[in-house]
Amino acid sequence: MDLINNLKLLCSAAGVGGLTQAAEVAKGLLSEYCSQVKIDKLGNVIGIIKSGRKDAPLLMLEAHIDEIGLIVTNIDDSGFVYTAPCGGVDVRTLPAAEVIVHGDKPYGGIFCSTPPHLKDEGKKDNLPDIRDMGIDVGMDAETARKCIKKGDRVSFFPNFTMLNENRISSKSLDDRAGVAAILYCLDLLKSENAAPDCDIAVVFAVQEELGCRGSAVASYGVNPDIAVAVDVSFARTPDADAEKCGQLGKGPMIGWSPTLDDKMTRRMVDIAEKCSIPYQHEVMGGTTGTDAESISDARTGVRTALLSIPLRYMHTPCEVADKRDIESVGRLLACFIKEGVSNL
């Protein structure tokens, strides 16, 4: 499996809430490992791998396939396109950002940016509300209103870049990195002819950035016995609180939280040590802010663990992750499955 190529395909696809391109790409990649793959009514990608064992427990592996973005609210009389956020867009990164407006076809655009020479000295650091920031699509009003409608989605321009042999920069690594890690796990299991003691449901959920809606629906439908959510978390930068961050290249961040299953979490730590997989602890005093909660709340409850990939510059068009961490998450998941889940 070419992890970098898969990740580039995933990150280059648009997956703002309501767009289906990323889900279709993920479905195609998942089909190599699952006999059954579908996209449900909400847009979740769901694949099933049967163990062939009678009364086998069902393990769900989940990562979200959607991304932050925007939705068109208006086009003014000069042809500038105005938007509202879909998810937690960082307004600081928007001036001069390249985007794609998904109208009757994809159109390139640039968020307006006032040159510093034209700003009042006391207002240079002030940022407007996203809703007041226009996108220049190079059209007059008549043309823009013909090609682009209210409700059309806006995604960041694909910009996948290898900073070095391990460091990756791109939009939507949150959470295409998690999707790639699960695919890497499945590839390891397939290449080793592993015989899991469980059936496996793979879910690439939509609308995590809009309130973890996709995972809630998918978990209800799949009805797993146990689950592992894979997401991203904060990686250390010079301006960040080191106590709240992991480090790039140091392995998966194993989540500890009152909402997560303690026995599964301890099993993850034991297996990481047994298999010589580097890992980090991520301790959270409350909820995790991920799909793990919506999964664990499904039906009468699902025992759930959380693995996170360290990520710099989250919710910006230029997130940064480390290939080795993505691989390590995949390896840890594969070892967890090979160890057996029926005795958890």
The pLDDT of residue 342 is 86
Alpha helices in the chain (DSSP H): 3-12, 21-30, 141-147, 173-191, 213-222, 262-274, 291-296, 323-339
Which tokens is 155 given?
Answer: 């995604």
Query: From CA 296, how far away is CA 136, in angstroms rounded?
Result: 43
Fold of 3-67+171-339: Aminopeptidase (3.40.630)
What DSSP state is assigned to residue 16?
B
| Average pLDDT of the segment spanning 175-180 | 97
Evaluate if residue 229 carries a pLDDT over 70: yes
Q: Which residue has the tokens 């039906």?
A: 299
| Residue 131 pLDDT | 84
Q: What is the model's pLDDT at position 129?
A: 81
Under the banding of pLDDT at 50, 70 and 90, the label for residue 239 is confident
Structure confidence by residue, pLDDT tens digits, 270-292? 999 999 999 999 999 999 999 99
202-220 mean pLDDT? 95
* Residue 342 CB coordination number (10 Å): 15
Architecture of the CATH domain 69-156: Beta Barrel (2.40)
In the predicted structure, residue 142 carries a pLDDT above the cut 70: yes
Burial pattern 286-316, b for ≥16 Cβ within 10 A else e, equals eebebbbbbbbbbeeebbbbbbbbbbbbbbb
Q: 16: which 2 tokens?
A: 């703002």
Q: What is the pLDDT of residue 120?
A: 57
Domain borders along the chain are 3-67+171-339, 69-156
What are the two backbone dihedrals, phi and then psi, of residue 81, each rounded to the nearest 5 degrees? -100, 130
Q: What is the mean pLDDT of the chain?
A: 94
Q: Which pLDDT band holds residue 62 (cuts at 50, 70, 90)? A: very high
How many other β-carbons are positioned within 10 Å of the β-carbon of residue 248? 20
pLDDT at 130: 87
Q: What pairing do the DSSP bridges indicate for beta strands 45-49 and 199-205?
A: antiparallel
The DSSP output letter for 103 is S
Q: What is the pLDDT of residue 114?
A: 63
Do the two domains 3-67+171-339 and 69-156 of this chain adopt the same fold?
A: no
pTM above 0.75, yes or no: yes
Amino acid identity of residue 47, one-letter, is G
Q: Return the structure tokens found at 21.
A: 């391109």
Contact 282, 253 (CB under 8 A): yes
Cα separation, 259 vs 284, whole angstroms: 9
Give the pLDDT mean for 131-151.
96
Residue scoring higher pLDDT (7 or 95): 7
Chain centroid offset of residue 69 CA: 13
User: Which amino acids are annotated catalytic?
Assistant: 208
pLDDT exceeds 90 at position 302? yes
For the stretch 158-173, pLDDT in tens is 999 999 999 999 999 9
Please say if the pLDDT value at position 93 is more than 60. Answer: yes
